[in-house]
């Protein structure tokens, strides 16, 4: 019987894990090596100690209603997209509301996590920690690793001949970037066009003499602001869109996807992507198209090599007098505190059952939380993982035999191993994955059942945003405020914008009632099909990540 649970890290996954342990009557102890909560989202000016944090200007890519904890909505006066300071404030409110801080040991580093000699029967772990130079040993019944996937910078210098031998300028990884002042008046080359690469290119264009952005893959650019000014993820991350993607032929969904991408601007004209692209990534950036249009950012192909002061690209062009090369090439995850026999059981998250459990452990008493790439908020996915895991630890849920878990892992694992910079192609549908874990935990809402008992709520769930409150309607952890949170999410989205009110004669409520009446037979049909096919594929509309 699991009672005492060690939690490594007090970021978003760690906070959710502590709370879920308490909900299940377990005894969590969270070890956090820094002096505060927040993990990646707690901004600091310093990069000392190897700690990864966001840069000064970062704002979330997913909206507050789609990224919050499922039983604790963001304050209605918070903007839809949060600067890191407001997101950290929200974390503090969550920790205080559920009294989580007393279970966290700050300035405590987990040095090692090893199986106990009797692990095959007890499933227990020995955890060695260090606080102020003093080491201590603890025994726990289970361990939840919540260090995330932004752990060590991925800096593929071998792929760029000359960067560390001939190039006389400065090069650094985006982890070391905090603000733009150090780059004022310089010619900067940004390598990598993910969300970070796009953000930094735009920001640097305000102070740098010139910014070049090197991309090797097709990239589609979206804005956080969608139809009628609403957050993009609230408009497009819906069960209805997910259902259409499953229902329609892949050729049709691909065509719809590219039409949606190009409805803002023609990506081929900008050198970003073509409708013939088979592999591509999606990034969120409102300003990048204008920077390309105004010439403050110049898009370039992949770098072939570096000379003393220039970059030579694969198309044969050269850019001279490069002062700084900024690698926005992502991160790799590592768990140096895990013993080799455990770490060797999974080479990446795709070797984990449901991206959580090492399937070959004799006892399922270790879980990796938040090590997943979703097309929506990782916060929501991490909380759902923690709810299922703690239910297993508490004995309410059970895992299948190891053989079935291994078969599931091999079935889903791609044949070709990709490097960390290609993770975008490995993202999982937010709705499909969260629904899958919710089904395991017994908390997935049933649209057909709700259509019979609460049609208004059913339609809001199916056609509206797939917000995290949906997973608090039924099952363990059911929250009495979930229904109201779902039906009022649009009001909370608009509330911070009501700083100046203007007259508007349009009546959206009557149109919504007509839409609901027309949509009812569609929802009934879709609900039946969804009940027969609970796991749907990748959503063409999702492309966001917090």
**DSSP H or E segment with residue 264:** none
For residue 195, give the 3-state DSSP assignment. helix
SS3 for 315-344 is CCCEECCCCEEEECCCEECCCCCECHHHHC
Q: Is the whole model's pTM more than 0.95, yes or no?
A: no
**Euclidean distance between CA atoms 198 and 543, whole angstroms:** 15
SS3 for 108-153 is EEEEEEEECCCHHHHCCEEEEEEECCEEEEEEECEEEECCCCCCEE
Please report the pLDDT score of residue 415 as a whole number: 57
Please report the pLDDT score of residue 536 as a whole number: 46
**Euclidean distance between CA atoms 369 and 107, whole angstroms:** 21
Contacts of 136 (CB under 8 A, 6+ apart): 128, 129, 130
Per DSSP, 207 falls in state T
**DSSP H or E segment with residue 412:** helix 402-412
Terminus-to-terminus CA distance in the chain, angstroms?
A: 35
Going from the C-alpha of 456 to that of each of 350, 462, 531, the distances in angstroms are 38, 10, 19
**10-residue averages of pLDDT along the chain (546 residues):** 94 98 98 96 82 93 98 98 98 98 98 97 97 97 94 94 97 95 97 96 98 95 93 96 92 88 94 86 95 98 98 98 97 91 81 94 96 93 98 96 94 65 64 97 97 96 98 97 98 96 64 56 59 46 37
The tokens describing 187, both together, are 């010619």
Q: b/e for 346-378, b at 16 or more Cβ within 10 A? A: bebbbbbbbbbbbbebebbbbbbbbbbbbbbbb
Partners of 409 in beta bridges: none
Task: Decide if 492 contacts 72 (C-beta within 8 A).
Answer: no
Please report the pLDDT score of residue 153 as a whole number: 93
Residue among 240, 241, 279 at smallest CA distance from 260: 241
The tokens describing 385, both together, are 């993982």
Q: What is the mean pLDDT of the chain?
A: 90
Contacts of 158 (CB under 8 A, 6+ apart): none
Please report the pLDDT score of residue 99 as a whole number: 98
Task: Decide if 156 contacts 32 (C-beta within 8 A).
Answer: no
Please report the pLDDT score of residue 212 as a whole number: 98
Q: What's the pLDDT tens digit per position in 452-491?
A: 999 999 999 999 999 999 999 999 999 999 999 999 999 9
Please report the pLDDT score of residue 253 as a whole number: 87
Q: What's the pLDDT tens digit per position in 141-158?
A: 999 999 988 889 999 999
For residue 305, give the 3-state DSSP assignment. strand
Give φ, ψ of 231 to 5 degrees: -60, 135
**Euclidean distance between CA atoms 101 and 298, whole angstroms:** 47
Give φ, ψ of 239 to 5 degrees: -65, -30
Per DSSP, 395 falls in state T
**Euclidean distance between CA atoms 288 and 232, whole angstroms:** 17
Task: Decide if 311 contacts 189 (C-beta within 8 A).
Answer: yes
Partners of 357 in beta bridges: 353
DSSP 424-453: GGGPBPHHHHHHHHHHHHT----HHHHHHH
**Euclidean distance between CA atoms 175 and 153, whole angstroms:** 7
Per DSSP, 239 falls in state H
The tokens describing 85, both together, are 């300071």
Question: Edge to edge, what strands does the sheet with 134-140 contain?
Answer: 108-115, 125-131, 134-140
**Euclidean distance between CA atoms 529 and 438, whole angstroms:** 18
The tokens describing 57, both together, are 């200007």
Domains of the chain: residue spans and CATH: 4-151+333-431 (3.50.50.60), 163-330 (3.50.50.60)
Q: Residue 177: count other Cβ atoms within 10 Å of its Cβ.
A: 23
């Amino acid at each position: 019987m699991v009672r005492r649970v060690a939690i490594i890290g007090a970021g978003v996954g760690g906070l959710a894990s502590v709370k879920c342990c308490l909900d299940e009557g377990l005894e969590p102890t969270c070890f956090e090596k820094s002096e505060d909560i927040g993990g990646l989202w707690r901004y600091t000016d310093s990069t000392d100690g190897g700690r990864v944090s966001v840069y000064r200007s970062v704002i979330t890519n997913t909206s507050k209603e789609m990224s919050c904890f499922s039983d604790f909505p963001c304050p209605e006066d918070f903007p839809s997209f949060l600067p890191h300071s407001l997101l950290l404030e929200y974390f503090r409110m969550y920790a205080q509301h559920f009294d989580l801080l007393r279970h966290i040991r700050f300035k405590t580093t987990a040095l090692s996590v090893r199986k106990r000699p009797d692990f095959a029967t007890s499933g227990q772990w020995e955890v060695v920690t260090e606080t102020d130079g003093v080491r201590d040993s603890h025994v726990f019944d289970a361990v939840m690793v919540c260090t995330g996937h932004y752990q060590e910078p991925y800096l593929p210098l071998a792929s760029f001949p000359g960067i560390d031998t001939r190039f006389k300028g400065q090069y650094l990884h985006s982890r070391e970037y905090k603000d733009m002042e150090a780059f004022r008046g310089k010619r900067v080359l940004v390598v990598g066009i993910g969300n970070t690469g796009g953000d930094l290119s735009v920001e640097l264009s305000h102070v740098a003499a010139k910014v070049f952005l090197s991309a090797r893959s097709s990239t589609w650019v979206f804005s956080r602001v969608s139809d009628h000014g609403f957050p993009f993820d609230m408009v497009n991350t819906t069960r209805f869109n997910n259902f259409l993607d499953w229902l329609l032929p892949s050729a049709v969904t691909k065509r719809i996807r590219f039409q949606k991408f190009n409805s803002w601007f023609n990506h081929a004209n900008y050198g970003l992507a073509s409708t013939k692209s088979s592999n591509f990534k999606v990034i969120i950036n409102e300003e990048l198209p204008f920077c390309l249009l105004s010439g403050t950012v110049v898009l370039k192909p992949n770098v072939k090599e570096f000379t003393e002061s220039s970059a030579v690209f694969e198309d044969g062009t050269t850019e001279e007098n490069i002062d700084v090369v900024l690698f926005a090439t992502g991160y790799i995850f590592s768990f140096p505190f895990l013993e080799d026999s455990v770490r060797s059981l999974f080479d990446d998250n795709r070797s984990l059952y449901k991206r959580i459990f090492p399937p070959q452990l004799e006892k399922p008493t270790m879980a990796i939380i938040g090590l997943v790439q979703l097309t929506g908020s990782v916060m929501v996915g991490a909380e759902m993982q923690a709810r299922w895991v703690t239910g297993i630890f508490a004995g309410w849920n059970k895992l299948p035999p190891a053989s079935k878990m291994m078969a599931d892992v091999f079935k889903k694992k791609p044949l070709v191993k990709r490097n960390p910079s290609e993770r975008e192609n490995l993202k999982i549908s937010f709705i499909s994955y969260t629904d899958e874990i919710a089904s395991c935990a017994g908390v997935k809402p049933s649209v057909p059942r709700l259509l019979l008992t609460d049609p208004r709520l059913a339609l809001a769930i199916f056609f509206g945003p797939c917000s995290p409150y949906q997973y608090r309607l039924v099952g363990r952890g059911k929250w009495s405020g979930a229904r109201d949170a779902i039906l009022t999410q649009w009001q909370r989205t608009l509330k911070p914008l009501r700083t100046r009110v203007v007259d508007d004669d349009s009546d959206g409520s009557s149109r919504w009632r007509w839409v609901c009446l027309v949509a009812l037979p569609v929802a009934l049909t879709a609900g039946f099909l969804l009940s027969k096919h609970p796991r749907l594929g990748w959503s063409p509309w999702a492309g966001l990540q917090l």
